[in-house]
Amino acid sequence: MLKTKTNDEKADTLLTKSLVPIIDLAHCGTEECPVRSVVNRVGQQLHKALSEKGLALLVNHGIADEKLKTAWDHLDDFVELPTDVKEHYIRTGEDNHGYVSPGLECFDGKIPELRHAFNICTLNAKDLPEEPLPGFADHISTLAEDFKSLARFILQALAISFDIPHTFFLERHSHMLSGDHDNETTLRLLYYPPVIEEDENGKNEFIKGHCKYSYQRCVTNLPDFRPEYNPRDDFNELDGDNNRIDELKQTTERRLPNGDMIRCGAHTDYGTFTLLAQDSEGGLEVKLTGTEKWQRLGHLPGAILVNCGEILTIWTQNRYLALPHRVVIPEQEHLRTRGRHSIAFFCHPDNLTLISPYDLPLPADVQDTTCKKTRKKSFKAAKEKVYNAYQLIQKRFRETYQNHYTS
């Protein structure tokens, strides 16, 4: 008798196939006094992971789950604010800081993306919704500093992996979260509303709902990668009131032609690298380095994903490739009909940092094969225009928001 697949069976993900490198950051010391042996070991592991796969999962990183969940609660509270209040914090075409409502971003250049986002580029309290949401600024500032410290550790480990001074990248990322006029580093709070299918017009729609956090808990020493069904997860039905419906359409509801919907289109990140925390396995897919197949990542409770950005690709002369990824709407109904939360820390160099593929030394084996072409390469480099970090990211922002903003 054939066995019917159920939700209790393990999902087919990169994690279940042991294709995601996992790096342990335990006993790494402090930012001011890191344990050199741990930094060296992490640097070697990052080099292998990022050059071969383009990503890794970090465990024992020191950022507590409760801090993440509290941040998502704050984002949910922000989304519930009246439209006229949220308008005070909307991202403009000139700055990256601020709230981005559903449908404004289009990473794949085709389909508007259905999510709420709050970009945090500065920890200045006046730029955060502290007055309507007491406690928001303090908690998010603390969490942002945690991510910043983790990013600085990764920057040191990356430098050591290239056999250059450990401060090389730190010196070029010295203004993280000082404001996007100095550095485009961004802590991004993300909420993807539940998806309800097949309305009376035969089109998909999505309705804002509340997500009871679906952190998976391990009852053994081995992590369980199966998606967890939580019957408490629910969503709010529209109550039929026309004014209420109009309000929700401005912030949380979109209907797209032919039922096309997407949470986050296929793209690569723009900066040095990204740190990503997510509440559950809810549709994140990646293309590993050297492959053209989209594959589900899977969810490891408490882990933070690190993946390469385009600037690191330039710096490493394509040795570390920016990882293509997307967030699709899950096929499982119990995952589609509940919200998804994540937090991304996009690590960027200071705006005036020149990004040249000749900043980092080539590996010894590559140097041996290219030494005869040094003069030719140097001449070519002299002719090439070198852009700074600000110019590179502004070009990518224009592509993402071209239908909505001018800058």
Question: Confidence band (pLDDT; 50, 70, 90) for 111?
Answer: low
pLDDT of residue 222: 35
- Describe the crossing of helices 36-52 and 136-161 by its angle, rounded to 10 degrees: 80
Question: Confidence band (pLDDT; 50, 70, 90) for 281?
Answer: low
Asked if 343 contacts 69 with a C-beta cutoff of 8 angstroms, the reply is no
Global pTM?
Answer: 0.78
Question: Is position 304 within any domain?
Answer: yes
Query: Phi then psi for 182, rounded to 5 degrees?
Result: -110, -35
Question: Confidence band (pLDDT; 50, 70, 90) for 270?
Answer: confident
Asked if 133 contacts 78 with a C-beta cutoff of 8 angstroms, the reply is yes
Instruction: Say how far apart CA 366 and CA 129 lie, in whole Å.
Output: 51
Give the domain range for residue 350.
20-196+255-402
pLDDT of residue 18: 93
Specify the range with the lowest mean pLDDT, choosing from 61-65, 126-130, 363-367: 363-367
Asked if 182 contacts 247 with a C-beta cutoff of 8 angstroms, the reply is no
Question: Is position 13 within any domain?
Answer: no
Question: Is position 237 within any domain?
Answer: no
Pairing relationship of beta strands 304-308 and 264-267 according to DSSP bridges: unpaired
Question: Alpha-carbon Rg of the chain, whole angstroms?
Answer: 22
Specify the range with the lowest mean pLDDT, choosing from 6-20, 31-45, 85-99, 262-276: 6-20
Strands (E), 193-311: 195-196, 205-206, 264-267, 273-278, 284-286, 295-296, 304-308
Question: Is position 287 within any domain?
Answer: yes
Question: Is position 205 within any domain?
Answer: no
Instruction: Say how far apart CA 35 and CA 30 lie, in whole Å.
Output: 8
Question: Is position 208 within any domain?
Answer: no
User: In a 3-state reduction of DSSP, which class is residue 78?
Assistant: helix
User: In a 3-state reduction of DSSP, which class is residue 356?
Assistant: coil
Number of domains in the chain: 1
Question: Is position 69 within any domain?
Answer: yes
Average pLDDT, the chain: 75
Over the stretch 247-264, which tens digit does the pLDDT of each residue have?
333 333 333 333 455 666
* 290: CATH: 2.60.120.330
Question: Is position 12 within any domain?
Answer: no
Instruction: Say how far apart CA 44 and CA 308 lie, in whole Å.
Output: 15
